Amino acid sequence: MPTVTVYESAETVPTVDSADELGVRRVSSLFPALADGPGDQVALRFGERSLTYGELAAAAGTLAGRLRGARRVAVWATPELETAVAVTGVLLAGAAAVPLNPKSGEKELAHIVSDSAPTLVLTAPGTQLPAGLGDLARLDVDASATGPAAGAAEVPDTDPALIVYTSGTTGPPKGAVLPRRALATTLDALADAWQWTADDVLVHGLPLFHVHGLVLGTLGPLRRGGSVRHLGRFSTEGVARELTRGATMLFGVPTMYHRIAEALPEDPELAAALGRARLLVSGSAALPVHDHERIAAATGRRVIERYGMTETLMNTSVRADGEARPGTVGVPLPGVELRLVEEDGTEIGAYDGESVGEIQVRGANLFTEYLNRPDATAAAHTADGWFRTGDMAVREPDGYVRIVGRKATDLIKSGGYKIGAGEIENALLEHPGVREAAVTGEPDADLGERIVAWVVPADPQSPPTAEELADHVARRLAPHKRPRVVHHLAALPRNDMGKIMKRALVADA
């Protein structure tokens, strides 16, 4: 990993004759519209509350003046206007923001605060913080502040912008340190891929403690000089309302698009609103092909998918001017190097749509380290600087990437075949008796691993049989991809981003 110089505060940055020395850039360049854009244009709207660019510049700039000299600042990341102001202010101050999930348990929250050691926590006025934050200084964010705004700090673009903690499925959450260059690189690459401009108005109801809702869904519009309308809480009614009122883009996770697909047959206004959107984007997990097709049939619009991680921000996307091909996440974004490798590290050169390998990436979009975890940082990278994503994929002849699952939970080795759980899940969801589906592997003395399906039936009183589902999959894919075991469930365990928690399924088996 490259050596990164981190300064304790903006005041300690050496004076240089050229901004190119040490890679110094004005932090305000992350949000040029704060300084140069039309001050009366709405930047943020949360429910009935909104801020123009002029008002945001004043509120965030005033906050930045109070934070100058801080190294890391925690943000109690509720879906409110104050969270967006807080993160913007932290970045203008030259510090790193540590978004805190308000739903975190006491143990997880204590670990994050101890590990990141923030100077203080920012929150909306009147918020009751948990006892675990009692020893941390608190500063209430004034979203209506109109005092003199502090000038943006000058810091290297390699300095931390965000420290975002991973889900911690294999241990305590790790803090991925995202440099300022990574935010700019990813957002500019997405602007190129999605033809994203200041004229776009984004609507979403995503949480603000993850990359999806915070970086893409909030900082993305601010970097472009456009607007974001946050629903506070996702609802199909809210989506229809905002798209009808002129929003041009919708961001969501598969759970949200599934609810949209379910609602469309009885909601012509929702279908019409989605049909007006310039871009419908799904991320954070794979969107089932069945939901793709239902939405396209009802609205005439295709949902496009992109692929990223906390550690890498965005790596690939279907382009706005490209083919929205269900089941794929498009092509590598500008500036991102991507390769597939075998278990021994050998690169897979064939773009044949069949050869499965682990995705590895390089580029300026990557994190710099796991905070306080040099061993984990080193283990996540190859000797020549490629990040091991742990995601398995194939590449189509035209370069499109199709993810088949996680290496740890979604790659099943059965009867000498490498099988991705994702394609079996999509096949199961095409069965009319299946509402939700997940696929895992379990040890088998003969096959090595056998395929296990976890199914939420459409009609719990009359679930499809194991034989019926096995035949259904075998006809659509191949006999060796059929599930050998089927479990019927009332619901699949999911995290707050809608991802199925497969480790919980296996643990409860």
Task: Tell me the per-residue pLDDT of 191-222, one tens digit each, with 9 for 90 and over.
Answer: 999 999 999 999 999 999 999 999 999 999 99
Q: What percent of the chain has pLDDT over 70?
A: 91
100 located within any domain: yes
Residues 27 and 170 in one domain: yes
Cα separation, 406 vs 408, in Å, equals 5
Instruction: Please report which helix (H) or strand (E) contains residue 137, including its range.
Output: strand 137-140
Domain boundary among 345, 374, 405: 405
DSSP state of 399: S
Residue 28 pLDDT greater than 60, yes or no: no
Q: pLDDT value at position 9?
A: 31
CATH number at residue 37: 3.40.50.12780
Task: Tell me the per-residue pLDDT of 310-369, one tens digit each, with 9 for 90 and over.
Answer: 999 999 999 999 999 988 999 999 999 999 999 889 999 889 988 889 999 999 999 999
Task: Tell me the per-residue pLDDT of 456-501, one tens digit each, with 9 for 90 and over.
Answer: 999 999 999 999 999 998 888 878 889 999 999 999 988 766 778 8
Burial of 143-180, coded b for 16+ CB within 10 Å and e otherwise, reads: bebeeebbebbbbbbbbbbbbbbbeeeeeebbbbbbbb
Q: pLDDT value at position 423?
A: 78
Residues 415 and 392 in one domain: no
- Considering 20-24, 128-132, 167-171, the range whose residues carry the highest mean pLDDT is 128-132
Residue 18 pLDDT greater than 50, yes or no: no
Residues 419 and 362 in one domain: no
Question: Which residue, among 168, 165, 163, 74, has the nearest Cα to 127 in the 3D structure?
Answer: 74
457 located within any domain: yes
Mean pLDDT to the nearest integer, 399-407: 87
C-alpha of 175 from chain center: 15
Residues 150 and 84 in one domain: yes
Task: Tell me the per-residue pLDDT of 56-94, one tens digit each, with 9 for 90 and over.
Answer: 999 999 999 999 889 999 999 999 999 999 999 999 999
Cβ(73)–Cβ(119) below 8 Å: yes
472 located within any domain: yes
Q: pLDDT value at position 38?
A: 77
CATH number at residue 386: 2.30.38.10
435 located within any domain: yes
199 located within any domain: no
Task: Tell me the per-residue pLDDT of 138-166, one tens digit each, with 9 for 90 and over.
Answer: 999 999 998 766 666 788 999 999 999 98
Domain boundary among 349, 371, 405: 405
Residue 454 pLDDT greater than 80, yes or no: yes
Beta bridge pairs of residue 393? 357, 403
Domain boundary among 178, 199, 223: 178
Mean pLDDT to the nearest integer, 260-289: 94
280 located within any domain: no
Q: pLDDT value at position 413?
A: 75
Residues 441 and 482 in one domain: yes
Confidence of residue 171 (pLDDT cuts 50, 70, 90): low
Residues 389 and 425 in one domain: no
Helical segments of 216-342, H only: 220-224, 236-244, 254-263, 268-276, 289-299
443 lies in which domain range?
Answer: 411-508
Residues 28 and 118 in one domain: yes
Cβ(289)–Cβ(326) below 8 Å: yes
Residues 22 and 158 in one domain: yes
Q: In terms of C-beta distances under 8 Å and separation of at least 24 residues, what long-range contacts does 439-442 make, across chains too?
A: 439/410, 439/412, 439/483, 440/409, 440/410, 440/412, 440/502, 440/505, 440/506, 441/412, 441/413, 441/414, 442/485, 442/506, 442/509
244 located within any domain: no
Residues 489 and 383 in one domain: no
The residue ranking higher by pLDDT, 367 or 285, is 367
Task: Tell me the per-residue pLDDT of 320-334, one tens digit each, with 9 for 90 and over.
Answer: 999 999 889 999 999
Cβ(116)–Cβ(31) below 8 Å: no
478 located within any domain: yes
Mean pLDDT to the nearest integer, 285-307: 93
Residues 454 and 487 in one domain: yes
* DSSP per residue, 250-266: EEE-HHHHHHHHHHGGG
Confidence of residue 12 (pLDDT cuts 50, 70, 90): very low
* 96-100 and 72-76 beta bridge pairing: parallel
Cβ(212)–Cβ(283) below 8 Å: yes
Confidence of residue 416 (pLDDT cuts 50, 70, 90): low
Confidence of residue 170 (pLDDT cuts 50, 70, 90): low
Residues 397 and 415 in one domain: no
Q: What are phi and psi of 278, to 5 degrees?
A: -75, -35
**Overall domain count for the chain:** 3
Cα separation, 168 vs 369, in Å, equals 16
Mean pLDDT to the nearest integer, 417-440: 85
Residues 70 and 27 in one domain: yes
